[in-house]
Structure 1
Amino acid sequence: MRLLDSPDAGQVETVYDAASNITRKITSNLRASSQAISYDYDFTRVVAIHYPNFPENDVAYQYGSPAQLGQPGNVVGRIVQVTDASGSEVRAYDRLGQMVEETKTVASHTQGNCDNCPEVWTTHYLYDTWGRLQQMTYPDGEVLTYAYDSGGLPRAATGVKLGVTTPYVQRFEYDEFGQHAFLRVGNGAETTYAYNPINRRLARLTAGDFQDLHYSYDLVGNITALSNQVPIPVPSAMGGPVDQTFAYDGLYRLTQATGQWRFSNKHQDYALSLAYDTIHNLTRKTQSDSVTTPGGSTVPQKLTTYDFAYAYAGHGPHQSTTIGDHAFSYDANGNQTGWNDLTSGKRRTIVWNEENRVQQISDNGQTTSFVYDDSGQRVIKRGKQGETAYINQFWTVRNRSVGTKHIFVGDTRIASKVIPGSAHLDPHSNDPFTSVLGQWWQQRAAQGWQNGTTTVKNPHFAGNAMPDILPEDNFIYFYHPDHLGSTSFATAATGDLFEHLEYFPFGETWVSEQTNTQRLPFLFTSKELDEETQLYYFGARYYDPRTSVWQSADPILATYLQGMPQRGVLEPGHLALYSYALNNPIVFKDLLGAFESLGDPLPSNKQKPSQLSFSLSHPLAAIEIGKVTIGSNTDNISTNAVRFSTRIGLDENAEHQGSEVNAFRHTIWQATIASKFGPDIARSVGFAHEDELPANLNQRQFTGRNALTNADTTVDLLNNILGRNLAEANQGKTPQQLSIAALDYFHTQGLFTATKQANGTVTVSQTRISDAKYNNALGILNGLNDKGFTASEQAAIDAQMRALMNNSIPP
């Protein structure tokens, strides 16, 4: 049993069986009614998840059986079908375990007499042997093909449907550090990136003639000024120069910001002031926003001008009980259950399910509900605009009448393409569900808590005239983001500007210029803004940019206590479980709703592209695998593998390549990953770890200047295979038990090492350790826990963590 007790998020009790499978999870909400989330297993494979309060959310997994060996789909031992509240998903795989087909049957409320009832969508994927996506076939039949450069990075993306070719990415280039250098999208718009040659910080970002961003920094990397240095446009055009400045306190939290947008013969200005307490809570947010007219008069923008005082009078030290004239409430799990406007009487009620996912939001009788899949990703949203089904990140459907394809390169959304529900649409129709312009992303009057200055123009058709038939290609929209990934501009298929946006620092819309009635929902840091609730959906949580707080506690608190990611609780700001991006939203963004990362086009640790691709494809696994942190208390699979391998008396060499230590580290690293996440993910991260993959794993002799490095890559991959095999042969074993199994194998069969010969040749061989070395190592391993610590070391670490937690709570 493991118990996590947080003053904000309550108590979470996790119960395990003898094979380390989670059998029950009891949160504070469930404990109050003597209930629990329960899990069923087939040995170590979860087959069902049961929820006591919302049983419609129950999950069932079906695995491929041995009888299916040799049949199409490579499903033996893999998940072949998932059934949950969103519907069901059937999967097929290639020989390396990559999912190559997913058929999603959506539990839609809009099913009727149609050609696709029930609502079924199939997406196909094709990967190369290194796990790179080569092709994807959308549910409507369009085939998207990726091309890669000699360094393995994507350089082009092209779609083909019914013989018509659509270039989405014509050219993508990178510098010698793997950072973005040049991008030309399908409509010809070009983006260039320039970096400071000393510290590689982004210095300038240009796109077309509408975006020319210049960045200034302080000595520690905080952005102090950001300006779009373009000419003032003519009155009928979008965009214009924008200048912003930022100031920070000694903990690098944003304290001041100013901005000015100049357009036509007017300008719009904002000023923001922020204050914090000693445990990183916002205590005051003062914001002014005004437009200065040609005559010199100032017109305040009331909805974006306010002075919020924050109070924390509840049980949780980081739970704001009042913000301005809104009073907030929370449940025992730390989820915000709604607010009351103390002035107007308006109110919001939020219903949460057992997994701390928003089930329903009601605003004065107007209800929006949400349905999630087994992994917690949102699949269905139902509200006043109807129903949206998110089949996957590449395909969404609105009210079964309009689909949207999303084109990604890595994690970057390059374009969105609206697909009408029928071949012939009348744009003049008053029916909002058959008119593309009237139906998709309707431009509502700016209202509520998310507001910006809105101007409407039309790049599609001269003189604002609309034809009777709208070509599909006329509804491709290309995104042009800033350093955070926030949509600053969007262009149409013609290359003309379609949308221009600017943001207040914490994501609230400041300026919004659109054409016609369409509005792209992917805004701040490219996340979707739900127009029904004015909350951003990040995947793991929902975020309110106006109050600058999350609606629930950070879901990875338990991982923070292990020292990861981003230093975990050793970064005190992570204990402020409702704060966004360490209260520095200009430098950091949040990819998932869990933790911050740099907004630079490449993370600060200069991850190799292959590692970055793995992290984006498998974010939760990447967190637990982590990166090696020497001499720390970090608890992740990579650091633990180093801890096991370096303290048991194995031989090491000066290059740290091809040695006994390296062999043992790779073996238990892969064994632990495969045991936790399966052999397919273990194989993928093993490939991503290496700089270059050898053409022949059977090669045993290496010569030349890079002989040892090349031999080391081979032994790493060979030991990775042994590690995955050990996991398969020792199912249900703990990391410490797996390390002993690896040691036994090292003693009896041997692991692969590289040896430098007198003539400079490096040979690879499977070598065994001596009896004396084995007995010494076994004695040490028997005294270690699953993290590679002794009992006394773990006790000292636990005491340190308790002290940190206690110091984060005010007296």
Structure 2
Amino acid sequence: DSTNINNGHKYTYDLNGNLVYINTSRVKRDGKEDEKATEQKYKWDEENRLLAADENYSIKREQSQTCLSYAERENNRPKVNGFVSNYWYDADGERTVKTSGENEAIYVNSEFSGGNTGTARFSLYVSPYLVAGQGGKYTKHIYIGSQRIVSKLGDLASYGADPRRIPYAGNEADGLTVDYKKKYGEQLQAIKENYRTFDIPYNGKDNDDYVNGQGFCCNDGTPEAAQARAMNASTRSAVDNNFHDKDNYEKMQFYYHPDHLGSSSYITNLDGEVSQHIEYVPFGEVFIEERNNTWNTPYLFNAKEFDEETGMYYYGARYYEPRLSLWMSTDPMEEKYPDISSYTYCHNNPITLIDPNGMTDYYNLNGKLVRNVDDGKTDRIMLLINSKKDDKVNAAIEQGTFIKVPSNKVVDKMEEAYNLTENTGKEHGFRVGNKGTISTMVSGRETEIGPDEWKPAVSSIVEQGDLVSYDVHTHPKPKYEQGSQTIPFNNMPSETDQMNTVGNQPSVVLGYYFQETRNVNTFGSGQTDVSLHRSICFYNKNGAINSEEIRFSDFKSAVKKINKEQ
């Protein structure tokens, strides 16, 4: 009996450990392989970044095609579809452009006769706040810190729906000029090379029709600096605010309601109606999805973008395949940790380990490395404990008693805030971005920095192209009074602090530990000794996350020690 019983998978990797080929075939009961069901090919660069993916659901040949043989009957022709996706990255390794399109090829007696290649779909990642697509469509994102909370859909009235017409990279304000025709030509050349890698004939044509459709206009693709100028396709006159009329301006708004892993669970529209509901299996594959087809978010598991073209999640450093529960490329630090698989996701524990962006080193408050977990990127985490014992380390990780190790510049800024507070008696603070950017220093009244005082700090982070991760502020008073209660030290967050937390990392109170010690001699008399030292506390909306009192001087020494080792 040769009935097909299941699918078999074969994997091929390059010398860097990146997955380059997946062959899925049906296996018969006699153990022999049947015809190939699907095959996928991947191309990587020297930085282990995915450049192209060939998603071929072919039957007999290695690309999407139609085979014609004069000896074959008409109804025996295998005719299939396939996609080739192409990716570009900036100097920091962040993905900036994604294109994909169908490849159709015709073979006569096994010889290539003709076909068509296109790149009809594209996404341009202008910034964390804006993603542009074909047809002038775009999606704007609103964040609280680094957590995406709202997506707004819109489109521009322009001419030439073309990925080269993007009003960002050549903004005159930054003094750059971009030759868009040259840039797009280089992209086309890269696409052709990707097709050759997959042994697929390429006959794509450049789209020079700028008249029809809607898209982004940047000086007709000339080498001049790009300008964010939207044009009305029929009148060629400027459109107010570069958008359609105000009645239709971004009416499509969708709100994210994540689960404990940050994964999109419910999506609601502007009226509060559920437009999408998603449930996941532990390793991120979608288990249940209900939607009304108004709009479907691509930001799913861990709030990472899901590529429909490849079926993988883009995490920034690597691509993750939820169906296989594996990373698609090797970890850059695998030689340092040979006992841990370079491809497993979250140490095979996706229930309790939230994706912390990669290969993570854990340090304690003494600056000592106490744990390493392979989960994708190179992060450094400081556990807010002094112990190095496994049970204490495990408890701190599970309870979330940790922070990302700040840079030396952030610690120096903390010390500056302390000095300013002690010289003026006023509260001082600043904010830190996800990329480590540091805002300007702000000050407020003696008791607090109000919303108006925080605005320059937020603006300076955004102007640097970053998102707020956490805030740092001082508490000037040696004693802090909260209601009728007097707390003998003021490094604890107030109720107002907890309600106004921002970003995705614990915020910081720079306070003082105030301690009174009564010294009594043998005669029953003595004196009271008072000690006051700088003390740092980390908190979220639920309150302080560190149970141990942390001296700022010790914290500073630990951070400097950790950063010196890198």
TM-score range, shorter chain: 0.3 to 0.5
TM-score when normalising by structure 2: 0.43
TM-score when normalising by structure 1: 0.31
